[in-house]
Structure 1
Amino acid sequence: MHDIWNPWHGCVKCSEGCAHCYMYFLDRLREQDGRRIYKTKAGFRKPVQQDRKGRYKIQSGEMIRVCMTSDFFLEEADSWREEAWDMMRERSDVVFYLLTKRPERVERCLPRDWGTGWPNIFFNVTCENQRRADERIPILLELPFHHKGIMCAPFLGPVNIRPYLASGQIERVKCGGENYDGSRPCDFDWVKALRQECADYHVTFCFIETGTNFIKGGRLYRLPNKRVQSEMAYKSGVSFRGKPIHFDLRDAWGQPVPEEARYVPHFRERCQTCGSQIICNGCSDCGKCEKANQRG
């Protein structure tokens, strides 16, 4: 996916949501060990890679998800993080989406010139259940970031975040069920309750996928196909667009990047029923859809 930057790969499990980690599962399929943590080679400098004309491949205004096969604040990555921060500082015209299960490590891992935060960083914590929500969100609220969000995935139980939404700091909430080996069920009642809390505070809520085992109306449905999961999440109609998030993006000279100069996501027909569309970076024009259609 063109909106993902994995400067390092591999992780250490640290909470309930890690028990059936998708990264570990996919690594096993490739006969690799998800516990092996290493700095990526081809992808490490992705944010500053340029085309033959000297233009950045990642365009101004894009949102890039960081460390989707690891954790940006993983202790084992401490020696690589400063260089990653340097690239995010250089690309002040790009939004970087950070997600962690380790918010207690964040303050000591920030760059020296952080101050009250960089406006192009969107910081999120994972809250797979109420225990982790009550543990991690208070830390999130105390940390110096301009933009903050919550990810309830894998969604393992009902989560009440209403007291934290009342702070006015949370700008977006995502949730989704669990996949692959040992997938634990996600109950639609939990999703609807979380959505209502977000709607009450005009916070964007995105239900991205049902997970493999989905409970609706007391009945358990098995949905192993991730495309179907995403479509079912979309068709549920529970995703909600709240207050828009404005990122103060700057070019290399420190000047504001106007809205008309920012990347605008575009979508193909199959994207119209995807649960992630309202938060997606759009189509990368990689050509895989055409190849799939030809095979079909």
Structure 2
Amino acid sequence: MAENSAISWTRHTWNPWMGCTKVSPACDGCYAEALMDKRYGKVQWGHHPRVRTGTHTWNDPFRWQRQAEKDGDRPLVFCASLADIFDNQVPGDWRADAFDVMRRTPRLVYLLLTKRPQNIIRLAREAGGLPPNAAIGTTCEDQQRADINLPALKSAYWVTRPLFTFASFEPLLGPIHIPPGVMPHWIITGGETDQGSHRARPTHPGWFVSLRDQCAAAGVPFHHKQNGEFLPEDWLDKDGYQWQAGYACPKVHRFSDGTACIRVGKKQSGRKLDGVEHNAFPPLPVSVEEAHHG
């Protein structure tokens, strides 16, 4: 459902179905709900039937596979940006069909991001096993979710044997210290953006910096997707950030340590973290055989 994704950490997005149910604070500002439910009315969010996408969408991976064969590369494919691949309210045969497409497109690397990592082992087994060209990841927006989801992801890794594990700390809603022994192979961070009637919550810049430094200490690739709607006040006059005179009604959020963040909008806030873009990706094997047989 996207030829080339606007998401910085993937080449394509693929949505075999649409719809989901909210399970954590990260879901409060769900862009998929705002887009596909509230704006376009294509699916109802919550405990309602999911909607399977059409033939054209299901054929997209085969086009990408042919192009990847010509180019000799291994593009990343985020599945699914408008749903959750390990949502237990999805018919099991849909997931089996999706996994079959993944197996038939081995040059593509599928990023299976879920807010339900506890479901990975069971649902992957029921769908015939995790495809060998898939990576598994989970969303952690605060310490509570990190303490629950990262150990579940680690457990799933040892059973399903994906290419690698990753974690998306977006929207980052609180400080996170990654518990010992559960550091993923790749970390993505990002601030929240406005979605429909939902107004973005600010992220303290120190929360991003802490995760960046934890990755550096562990030798883990770090990718910072976006700052969200806010920037720290002391970043606005340096490192390429320019305060726009006359910006309509900037809203200031002051954290308990005195750090002030100003609502400047997603475009103005950009992707730089204290003046630096972080675009790291995990190293990808040339082939699935290389990944699993060395």
Q: TM-score, normalised by structure 2?
A: 0.73
The alpha-carbon deviation at position 12 of structure 1 amounts to: 0.7
Matches within 5 A, 1:206-221: 206-215=223-232, 218-221=259-262
The alpha-carbon deviation at position 32 of structure 1 amounts to: 4.8
Aligned counterparts of 2:189 and 2:287: Cα–Cα separation in 1:
27
Unaligned runs of 5+ in 2: 5-11, 235-258
Aligned counterparts of 2:89 and 2:128: Cα–Cα separation in 1:
23
- What corresponds to 1:247 in structure 2? 285
Unaligned runs of 5+ in 1: 257-296
Deviations 1:150-188 (A, max 9, x none): 1001111111115245x6xx2110010111122111111
1:132 pairs with 2:172? no
Contact 1:195 1:238 in 2 (8 A): no
Aligned counterparts of 1:234 and 1:195: Cα–Cα separation in 2:
9
The alpha-carbon deviation at position 29 of structure 1 amounts to: 2.6
Query: What secondary structure, in the 3-state scheme, does the structure 2 residue paired with 1:207 have?
Result: strand
Matches within 5 A, 1:38-53: 38-41=51-54, 42-49=56-63
- What corresponds to 2:192 in structure 1? 178
Query: What secondary structure, in the 3-state scheme, does the structure 1 residue paired with 2:270 have?
Result: helix
Contact 2:26 2:141 in 1 (8 A): yes
Aligned counterparts of 1:123 and 1:56: Cα–Cα separation in 2:
24
- What corresponds to 1:237 in structure 2? 276
Deviations 1:261-282 (A, max 9, x none): xxxxxxxxxxxxxxxxxxxxxx
Deviations 1:68-108 (A, max 9, x none): 01100112322301010001111112111110001111111
Contact 1:61 1:95 in 2 (8 A): yes
Aligned counterparts of 1:11 and 1:74: Cα–Cα separation in 2:
7
Query: What secondary structure, in the 3-state scheme, does the structure 1 residue paired with 2:29 have?
Result: coil
The one-letter code matched in structure 2 to 1:202 is G
The one-letter code matched in structure 2 to 1:229 is S
Aligned counterparts of 2:279 and 2:81: Cα–Cα separation in 1:
24
- What corresponds to 1:227 in structure 2? 267
Contact 1:119 1:147 in 2 (8 A): no
Aligned counterparts of 2:63 and 2:23: Cα–Cα separation in 1:
33
Do the aligned partners of residues 33 and 118 (structure 1) sit closer, same or farther apart at CA in structure 2, a change above 3 Å counting? Answer: closer
Aligned counterparts of 2:215 and 2:233: Cα–Cα separation in 1:
20
Which of 127, 130, 134 is the aligned partner of 1:121? 134
Aligned counterparts of 2:233 and 2:179: Cα–Cα separation in 1:
23
Do the aligned partners of residues 32 and 86 (structure 1) sit closer, same or farther apart at CA in structure 2, a change above 3 Å counting? Answer: closer
Aligned counterparts of 2:171 and 2:190: Cα–Cα separation in 1:
6
Aligned counterparts of 2:113 and 2:290: Cα–Cα separation in 1:
28
Do the aligned partners of residues 182 and 24 (structure 1) sit closer, same or farther apart at CA in structure 2, a change above 3 Å counting? Answer: same
Contact 1:127 1:133 in 2 (8 A): yes
Query: What secondary structure, in the 3-state scheme, does the structure 2 residue paired with 1:61 have?
Result: coil
Aligned counterparts of 1:74 and 1:96: Cα–Cα separation in 2:
17
Query: What secondary structure, in the 3-state scheme, does the structure 2 residue paired with 1:24 have?
Result: helix
The alpha-carbon deviation at position 222 of structure 1 amounts to: 1.1
Give me the CA root mean square deviation: 2.6
The one-letter code matched in structure 2 to 1:239 is H
- What corresponds to 1:29 in structure 2? 39
Do the aligned partners of residues 89 and 32 (structure 1) sit closer, same or farther apart at CA in structure 2, a change above 3 Å counting? Answer: closer
Query: What secondary structure, in the 3-state scheme, does the structure 2 residue paired with 1:75 have?
Result: coil
Aligned counterparts of 2:122 and 2:76: Cα–Cα separation in 1:
25
Q: TM-score, normalised by structure 1?
A: 0.73
Contact 1:7 1:45 in 2 (8 A): no
Contact 1:187 1:216 in 2 (8 A): no
